[in-house]
Amino acid sequence: MNIKNANKFILVLMLSVFFANTNAQQKTIDQKVAALLKQMTIEEKIGQLNQYNDDADATGPTTVDNDKANQIRKGQVGSLLNAKGTVRTRSWQKIAMESRLKIPLLFGLDVIHGYKTTFPIPLAEAASWDLDAMQLGARIAATEASASGIHWTFAPMVDIARDPRWGRIMEGAGEDTYLGCKIAEARVKGFQGKLGDINSVMACAKHFAAYGAAVGGRDYNSVDMSDRQLWEVYLPPFKAAVDAGAATFMNSFNDLNGVPATGNKMLQRDILKGKWGFKGFVVSDWGSIGEMQNHGSVKNEYEAALSAITAGSDMDMESRCYKNNLTKLVADKKISIALIDDAVSRILKKKFELGLFDDPYKYCNADRETAALNNTTHVAAARDMAKKSIILLKNENNILPLSKALKTIALIGPMVKQLKQNKGFWDVDVPGVDSNFIVSQWKGLQNKLGANTNLLYAKGCNIEGNDKSGFAEAIEVAKQAEVVVFSMGEKRDMSGEAKSRSDISIPGVQEELLKELLATGKPVVVLIHAGRPLVFNYTADNAPAILYTWWLGSEAGNAIADVLFGDYNPAAKTTTTFPRSVGQVPIYYNHFNTGRPVTNDKEHLYRSAYNDLSIYPKYAFGYGLSYTKFEYSNFALNKKTVKANETIEASVTIANTGKYDGEEIVQLYLKDKVASSVRPIIELKDFKKIFIKSGESKTIKFVIDKEKLSFYNTQLQWVAEPGDFELMIGAASNDIKWKEVFELVK
Ligand code: BGC
């Protein structure tokens, strides 16, 4: 055997040992689960499917139950949600250890964008298009949460959202399916790492499925959509989560084409557990099993439990329908015990994989908790993520970045001195932690600027309401400054669950105050804090500089200061279309052409558009500015025809011709020009975020394969049809720098 072959042999040997070990480990877990199952009474089995809220936080109707501890002791509860901290989780776990079979509890929590160290809201993070940073953010959230007793986060939310009226748009990656898949994968990997590692928590892809398409953006509402759209737009991020190894799924509140998702067999049993081979377990959403009575798909809780368990919902979050009805359903022979065993096994398996049977207090180490929460490494990562999430929407006459040599800066607005506001919805209130660790915008600027700069402050107005009594002071303060930074937007709980709004303009009198500030003639930089794309035409048209600063988390103030003063050059780009009016909603970039397409505002009548509005959104998908300038050149395709089993490569050179180093998000779009099913006018199929020093350039290459050319035809087959494709490379969906056609041949 020569050296090369010997090396190959060793590699094969190592791989077989590795796979044999993994298989053996899995086998032992399967065997352990089977052995445990044999010892369990039906009541104990059903207990594993039962999840209660720890009384602290609630996002749904709560059932006061003073008997929880007793039920845990009897093995009638498998999981608690909203129990936080090593002290609290340990005390519950101790009770579980008093049960006959000592099956540990699972502690689940909505760790959506950080635990104590709070990262930007997910929609803001998505705007960074920085998958590594998002993965790291999820990893840090998992590290802190797992140190604080948590085993399982109800994240990521991978719902595609095309309607900014829907408050939960803040929780996802935006409107695009391709980007949504990439972000789903990054977040699942970040949260989970390798399940069982001390810093890992189980991820939960939610809400399965199509929750983001609720009628009119009204939370919890119905969804009626074609199978083709479901498969093409809404399901792929869930499939990406399965492929990334997501341990759990959560179903959704909505009905899908008349069948509540919680009782939807096609979704959970046929697609998720069948076609996709998902081996984890599905938790219902809060009370969603019982809510099927309100939907009108079942008569009572007995039927609700039957519908959900048959459809593949394994764990009942807070509705108690399983606890109260599954035994009878088995006795009545409506369901087999095998169905229950399957659900129980899926849950027990995860408890074994997490290592909870070896040590139920594995994630309950108070020293680790103290060391992990908001440590300096985590704080640095949160600041980095926050500055990467800020979108520069406008920068007339290069007002930004501001000079650190400015003598007087006025910081005005209702957000300036706020702490908790910066965290945004779905933050975690960690027990025993006050808000002082959060860096306010005021503090962030103070940290940045030396003693030579005089920072002035006026609140000016509230976020909501009509009170203008603070205007005069704000105007006075503005007049004394060289530059005004005006901080406005939504309150942190205006976007989030059950936070749908029909009016998504800037609340209160904030834009009126801006008008007065602009009238002073001072340069005004506007910061907009929000959980969704807002409508702010006055600001967009009149303020010289705008940064979309979302809810950036606990390092908000520092990150904003980094961007304002040019220590970081903003690179983020929108991942949702920003409408110019609620009347345009839903508006998304990857729509069909229709038979009466509109190509510019001047066309009129008998076209598919509103007659009283521009056809354009305020900001298109993929849009965002930089302090520097990028020029695109040297476009090339390596061939003009491609076979399905081949790839085709497109390359482009990007030069940084401005004064600042910076990152550019280069976007690749495709359009299938003629197909058996109508195709969108443009679809994101790849992107690259690249750093280029001022004066330098980089050439990048995109590889297009069959997958990128495929779509679901009307028979729901995933096909790449021969014919012409238009390839587009650009800086935004509405800023295409180059187009070229190639042909897919048989
Ligand atoms: C939400 C879920 C969340 C659950 C637990 C529900 O109301 O829809 O996303 O995970 O509450 O807090």
Write out pLDDT tens, residues 544-591.
999 999 999 999 999 999 999 999 999 999 999 999 999 999 999 999
What is the residue with the minimal CA distance to atom 10 of ligand 1? 154
Residue 158 has pLDDT above 70, yes or no: yes
pTM exceeds cut of 0.85: yes
380 CA distance to ligand 1 middle (Å): 29
- Decide if pLDDT at 127 tops 70: yes
| Distance from Cα 2 to the centre of ligand 1, integer Å | 59
**Ligand 1 centroid to 286 CA: how many Å?**
6
The rounded Å distance from CA 155 to ligand 1 centre is 10
Average confidence score pLDDT of the chain:
95
Look up residue 524 and give its amino acid.
V
What is the reported pLDDT for 58? 56
- Bridge partner list, 535: 505
Q: To test the ligand 1 pocket, which listed residue (121, 286, 316, 428) has its Cβ within 8 A of the most ligand atoms? A: 286
Residue 668 has φ and ψ, to the nearest 5°, of -110, 125
Mutate to test the pocket of ligand 1, among 59, 202, 219 (most ligand atoms within 8 A of CB): 59
- 108 CA to centre of ligand 1 in angstroms: 11
**What are 371-401's pLDDT values in tens digits?**
999 999 999 999 999 999 999 999 999 999 9
Q: Which pLDDT score is estimated for 601?
A: 86
Dihedral over alpha carbons 427, 433, 438, 440 (to 10 degrees): 100
Band of pLDDT at residue 18, cut at 50, 70 and 90: very low
Overall average pLDDT of the 654-663 stretch? 98
Which of 168, 220, 497, 499 has the most ligand 1 atoms within 8 A of CB, as the residue to mutate?
497
Most confident residue range from 21-35, 201-215, 598-612 = 201-215
For the chain, the first-to-last Cα distance in angstroms comes to 43
Q: How high is the pLDDT of residue 4?
A: 46
Q: What confidence tier does 11 reach under pLDDT thresholds 50, 70, 90?
A: very low
**Mean pLDDT computed over 286-300:** 98
Three-state DSSP class for residue 252: coil
Q: Which atom of ligand 1 is nearest to the CA of 155?
A: 10
**154, 201, 204: which to mutate for ligand 1, most atoms within 8 A of CB?**
154
- Helical (H) or strand (E) element with 227: helix 227-229
Q: If you take atom 6 of ligand 1, which residue's CA is the nearest one? A: 286
Q: How far apart are CA 627 and CA 395, in angstroms?
A: 8
Q: Which numbered atom of ligand 1 lies nearest the CA of 157?
A: 9
Report which ligand 1 atom has the smallest distance to the Cα of 58: 12
CA-closest residue to ligand 1 atom 8: 285
Please give the distance, rounded to the nearest whole angstrom, from the Cα atom of residue 550 to the centre of ligand 1: 22
pLDDT score for 64: 75
Contact 621, 588 (CB under 8 A): yes
Query: How far is the centre of ligand 1, averaged over its atoms, from the C-alpha of 206 (Å)?
Result: 9
Task: Point out the least confidently predicted range of 67-71, 312-316, 389-393, 464-468.
Answer: 67-71
Distance in angstroms (rounded) separating the CA atoms of residues 629 and 667: 16
What residues contact 502, with CB distance under 8 A and at least 6 apart? 165, 582
In ligand 1, which atom is closest to the CA atom of 59? 7
SS (H, E, C) 433-466: CCCCCCCCHHHHHHHHCCCCCEEEEECCCCCCCC
108 CA closest ligand 1 atom index: 5
State which ligand 1 atom lies nearest to the alpha carbon of 154: 10
Please choose from 57, 84, 110 the residue to mutate so as to test ligand 1's pocket, defined by most ligand atoms within 8 A of CB.
110
261 and 227 Cβ atoms separated by less than 8 Å: no
Model confidence at 178, in pLDDT bands (50, 70, 90)?
very high
Give the strands of the sheet with 281-283, arranged side by side. Answer: 204-208, 248-251, 281-283
> How many Å lie between the centroid of ligand 1 and the Cα of residue 219?
12
pLDDT at position 340 over 80: yes
Return the ligand 1 atom nearest residue 171 CA.
9
Q: What is the rounded average pLDDT of the residues 4-21?
A: 48
Q: Is the pLDDT of residue 293 over 80?
A: yes
- How far does the centroid of ligand 1 lie from the alpha carbon of residue 545, in Å? 37
pLDDT of residue 56 exceeding 70: no
User: Is residue 355 predicted with pLDDT exceeding 90?
Assistant: yes
Give the angle subtended at the CA of 364 by the CAs of 363 and 368, to the nearest 5°: 85
Which atom of ligand 1 lies at the shortest distance from residue 82's CA?
12
Ligand 1 neighbours by CB, cut-off 6 Å: 59-60, 81, 110, 154, 206, 285-286, 497
| Coil vs helix vs strand at 640 | coil
- Give the pairing type, strands 735-745 and 641-643: parallel
d(CA 665, CA 572): 8
Q: Does the pLDDT value for residue 16 go beyond 80?
A: no
The catalytic site residues sit at 285
Residue whose CA is at the smallest distance from ligand 1 atom 12: 59
pLDDT value of position 24:
56
pLDDT of 480 strictly over 50: yes
- The one-character DSSP state at 202 is B
Lowest mean pLDDT among 15-29, 233-247, 659-673: 15-29
Q: How confident is the model at residue 199 (pLDDT cuts 50, 70, 90)?
A: very high
Q: Whose C-alpha lies nearest to ligand 1, atom 4?
A: 286
pLDDT at residue 22, as a whole number: 53
- What is the mean pLDDT of the segment spanning 278-296? 98
CA of 172 to the centre of ligand 1 (A): 14
What is the structure's pLDDT at 3?
46
Count of C-beta atoms within a 10 Å radius of residue 583? 11
CA of 457 to the centre of ligand 1 (A): 38
- pLDDT of 605: 81
